[in-house]
Each structure stands twice: as C-alpha cells, then as structure tokens.
Amino acid sequence: MKFRITGISDTHNKHNQLEGKLPGGDILIHAGDITSLGRKDEVKRFIKWFSRQEYKYKVFIAGNHDMTFDNEKLLRDKLAHFEGRTEWDTECANGKPQWLIDMLEDLDRDTFYLENSAIEFDNIKIWGSPYSPTFGHGWGFNKDRGHDIAQCWNEIPMDTDIVITHSPIYGYNDRSRNTNENVGCADLYHRLHEVKPHLHFAGHIHEGYGYGTIPYKSVWGDIYTFNPSTCNLSYEAVNAPITFDYDFMSRELEFLM
C-alpha cells in the first residue's frame, strides 16, 4: 500500500515552469488556482499539461482564481473591473460555461476533477473541494465562515483517505504575511478531526508553503497536512513540488529528496 505522491498548488498559469521537477509516480494532486482568472485558454493549457504528466492518477480541484469553474459571471465582472470591458461576443453562462463542461467531460481516464465530490482508485478514497472562507469580493468558491462553510465540510465522507481543499486549515500553513494572522478554516480543522484522513492537501496562502502534522493520541496516528503552493506571494513559481512515498498501512512517510 505504498504510493509515491506529489502535491502542487497555486500554479497560476506557471505550470510549465515545473517541467523537470515532477518525478512521476502514483498520484499527482493539484490543490487549486490553476489559472489567473479562469479564462478558456488558461484552463485548456493547464488540462493539456496536467493530463500528460507521468503519474498513474492525476487529481485536481479549482480555487478562488478559477472563477469560471464556479460561475462565468464572476469572470465577466472581474474583467469589467480590471479592463473596463462592457461588451462581449458571447452570452454569459449562469454557472459553468459549456466549453468548460465539455473539457471536464473529456478528461483522460486517469485524470479527475473534484468539486465537493470523491473518487476511489486502488482502494484509496479521495475527496476534494474548491471552497475557501470568504475574503475580498468577486472571487470564486467563497463561503462565509461558520454555518455556510461547515455545511461544505460536512460532506467529507468519514472513510476518506486523502482530503484536498483549496483552503488550508486554521493554524497550519495558513499564516498571511499581509495581516500576520492565521486565515485558514477552523471548521475544516474540526471536520478533519472527525474524519481522520491520512493526508490533507491545500493551497491558497502562497506564503504558507510547507507541511505540518495534526497529532492524535490514538491508534489513528497523525494527519499530514501539506501546502504545496508553487507560487510565492509575488506570483513567482519558486517553490518545489512536494513529493513523498507514503504507506497507507503503516502511515510511514518518506520525502523524496
């Protein structure tokens, strides 16, 4: 039950800069923000690149920047704000645009997109969500702290082995340099204590790159939580992918140097 797993996140269109840095293996995980704004050409380039990586399985979620995965109107509003655009060649979808639906339906058989949903392969159960606590205005997949976002985390099945969320958990790899505050989700922290997955991947807070362990004084062992954000706070692709070998039986983890 030993798997070689690589985590990346927050590539923001800089995924090509990871060429030669992904060793290949069993599972490649991307924890969201694959694009800058969720435009069609951005998504298309990412999926083409992600699908050809040398991993047995590839799993990704969206993030707050991938706005068309949530609702195309968010992208239109953001472009209107940034560029002053008010006229469009096509109508705006109420939700995902058809071009995105078609792309996701045409993913390779070894590539999976998760949106508050799960996938199972080789007896490993993975659940992923693009949501994060509300911040700013007009970004994708934001839910207010408390009841709204807790309802989202309550969907995580109790038998999940790997949880992927765009939001980090409170107190782990979530320190914002701008505010010097922990900005992760406390409700997600509490839900992971209930579910007790083996591994957790998140991103969103670029300067939170790294990993930690959530200790348990029980037979369950620790939960490893990772923030493998590729980009730093200046959106430079400087952080290496996080790759390790993990045994789901013994819970032993060994980083690939």
Identify the band that residue 219 occupies on the pLDDT scale cut at 50, 70 and 90.
Answer: low
pLDDT band at residue 218 using 50, 70 and 90 as cut-offs: low
Residue 54 has pLDDT above 80, yes or no: yes
Task: Decide: 242 and 224 in contact? Cβ < 8 Å.
Answer: no
Q: Helices 40-51 and 98-105, interaxial angle, to 10°?
A: 10
All structural domains of the chain, each given as residue ranges with its CATH number in brackets, are 2-255 (3.60.21.10)
Strand partners, 162: 126, 199
Question: Which of 5-14, 76-85, 86-95, 107-116 is predicted with the least confidence, judged by mean pLDDT?
Answer: 86-95
Where b means 16+ CB within 10 Å and e means fewer, 170-195 reads bebbbbbeeeeebbbbbbbbebbeeb
User: The whole model's pTM is what?
Assistant: 0.96
- Quote the percentage of the chain above a pLDDT of 90: 84
87, pLDDT greater than 70: no
Choice among 48-62, 67-81, 197-211 with the minimum mean pLDDT: 67-81
- How open is the CA angle 219-225-230, to the nearest 5 degrees? 160
Separation of alpha carbons 57 and 25, rounded Å: 9
Share the mean pLDDT of the chain.
94
- For residue 130, with 0-12 CB atoms within 10 Å meaning exposed, 13-18 middle and 19 or more buried, which class applies? buried
In terms of DSSP H, where are the helices of the chain? 40-51, 72-83, 98-105, 147-153, 186-195
Q: What is the per-residue pLDDT for 147?
A: 97
Tens of pLDDT, residue by residue over 88-138, are 667 787 899 999 999 999 999 999 999 999 999 999 999 999 999 998 788
DSSP string for residues in 35-65 = SSS--HHHHHHHHHHHHTSSEEEEEE---TT
Residue 191, SS3? Answer: helix
Residue 179: is its pLDDT beyond 70? yes
Nearest to 191 by CA among 155, 235, 240: 155
Q: Residue 64 has which token pair?
A: 């707050």
